[in-house]
């Protein structure tokens, strides 16, 4: 935490008093801390308390511009290396999940590209409410890190999960997370994600069921581990926000081929998670095809094999491929690994429950070029992204020995 710029966001719950200890301990560790409070938080703890503990100005009002040369909520958002929301109420979770910025804290959260850690605290039934759970899931998918509340006696009189984690534990968790996830610092990771679309006419196209979720989770995790990430993605309904991620949007297999090859030499690691079309219509109609009697045939031609071309061209890059299979996944995966000159391949049987496209979970086998197999059981795509990158780091470290 030493010399880190940390923004502590405090919201209006009784657990706001614990934020005082959190700010104090962060300051003692050598961090520079700025506190941003909601108006409701100020009903529990006065801003002067946090000012004394942090020795920094405390922010409570979006329109209270302390320096006329800067926009306060943007300046604070850019300043931060880490943002900690403690306590995080159901209200702030709903705002952040839905992109609402109506006060100083919510606008800072929307503007920052720092790592965000959220420590919820609320009534046990509020914490378990489907809307709150859905908001937390949305935020986790966008790369926020949650520090789960403890269970015990709550201020409302209930006993259960919802008590803000202790300040020492919050700091410990963040330090462990930050230390573990800086093992890609100085590396450039190129990741492809999502499907491609191959036009038939101005309104129709061939595509596949890929959502891009696995690739986006990999991009977020690599960025959190300190890597510079180049994310090249097909048409997806996903957003991503991290200061270490450069996003490049493409549509067709040819566009993805060009974009990948343009940036390939910059990369230390390439993870090819996109589901690229193997075939495209040979002739694209300039006008919309009208319904006609009888059948209609589309002549298809092969697209360029991006992964094969990278395997042929690679020098020191570590290349990971993905193989979505419906039969003989291990055999087909090992064949693809060898034939395309890869360093590793992630193989999954998309016919298995929870392991197909579009879902939030996955189940796969990681195989490296030494044919070492790591079976990854059914888990969230976020957890799988962590597991895959840890295996890549392991291989790189062993190769360097």
Catalytic residues: 156
Q: Output the DSSP codes for 261-285.
A: HHHGGG-SEEEE--B--SEEESS--
**CB burial readout 173-182, b (16+ within 10 A) else e:** bbeebbeebe
Residue 56 has a CB neighbour count (10 Å cut-off) of 14
CB-CB contact of 7 with 108 (8 Å): yes
Task: Spell out the alpha helix ranges (H) of 62-212.
Answer: 72-79, 90-97, 104-111, 124-128, 130-141, 167-180
Q: In angstroms, rounded to a whole number, what is the distance separating the alpha carbons of residues 98 and 20?
A: 28
Q: In angstroms, rounded to a whole number, what is the distance separating the alpha carbons of residues 97 and 146?
A: 13
Among residues 189, 266, 267, 255, the alpha carbon closest in space to that of 221 is found at 189
DSSP label of 214: H
Helix (H) or strand (E) holding 391: helix 381-400
Among residues 237, 242, 231, the alpha carbon closest in space to that of 271 is found at 231
Q: In angstroms, rounded to a whole number, what is the distance separating the alpha carbons of residues 212 and 195?
A: 7
What is the β-pairing status of strands 318-325 and 269-272? Answer: parallel
Angle (deg, nearest 10), helices 104-111 and 90-97: 40
CB-CB contact of 8 with 22 (8 Å): yes
| CA 97, chain centre distance (Å) | 14
Instruction: Find the Cα–Cα–Cα–Cα dihedral 180, 185, 189, 193, rounded to 10°.
Output: 40
Task: Spell out the alpha helix ranges (H) of 225-328.
Answer: 253-263, 306-313
């Amino acid at each position: 935490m030493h010399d880190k710029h940390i923004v502590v966001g405090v919201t209006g719950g009784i657990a706001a008093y614990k934020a005082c200890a959190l700010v104090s301990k962060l300051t003692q560790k050598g961090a520079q801390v700025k506190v941003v409070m909601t108006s409701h938080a100020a009903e529990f703890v006065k801003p002067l308390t946090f000012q004394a503990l942090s020795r920094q100005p405390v922010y409570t009002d979006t329109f209270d511009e302390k320096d006329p040369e800067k926009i306060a909520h943007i300046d604070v958002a850019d300043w931060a290396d880490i943002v900690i929301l403690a306590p995080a109420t159901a209200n702030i979770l709903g705002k952040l999940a839905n992109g609402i910025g109506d006060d100083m804290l919510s606008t800072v959260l929307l503007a920052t590209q720092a790592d965000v850690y959220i420590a919820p605290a609320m009534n046990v039934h509020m914490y378990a409410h489907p809307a709150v759970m859905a908001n937390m899931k949305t935020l986790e998918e966008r790369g926020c890190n949650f520090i789960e509340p403890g269970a015990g006696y709550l201020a409302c009189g209930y006993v259960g999960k919802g008590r803000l984690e202790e300040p020492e534990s919050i700091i410990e968790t963040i330090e462990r997370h930050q230390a573990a996830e800086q093992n890609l610092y100085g590396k450039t990771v190129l990741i492809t994600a999502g499907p491609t679309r191959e036009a038939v006419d101005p309104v129709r196209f061939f595509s596949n069921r890929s959502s891009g979720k696995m690739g986006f989770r990999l991009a977020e995790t690599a960025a959190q581990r300190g890597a510079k990430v180049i994310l090249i993605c097909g048409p997806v309904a996903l957003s991503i926000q991290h200061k270490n991620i450069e996003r490049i949007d493409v549509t067709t297999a040819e566009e993805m081929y060009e974009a990948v090859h343009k940036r390939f030499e910059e990369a230390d690691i390439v993870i090819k998670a996109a589901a690229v079309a193997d075939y495209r219509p040979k002739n694209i109609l300039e006008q919309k095809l009208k319904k006609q009697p009888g059948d209609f045939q589309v002549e298809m031609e092969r697209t360029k094999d991006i992964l094969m071309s990278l395997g042929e061209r690679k020098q020191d890059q570590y290349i990971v491929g993905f193989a979505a299979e419906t039969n003989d996944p291990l055999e087909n995966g090992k064949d693809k690994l060898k034939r395309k000159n890869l360093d590793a391949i992630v193989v999954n049987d998309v016919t298995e429950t929870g392991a197909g496209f579009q879902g939030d979970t996955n189940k796969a086998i990681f195989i490296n070029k030494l044919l070492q197999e790591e079976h990854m059981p059914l888990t969230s795509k976020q957890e799988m992204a962590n597991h895959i990158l840890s295996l890549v780091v392991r291989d790189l470290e062993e190769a360097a020995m």
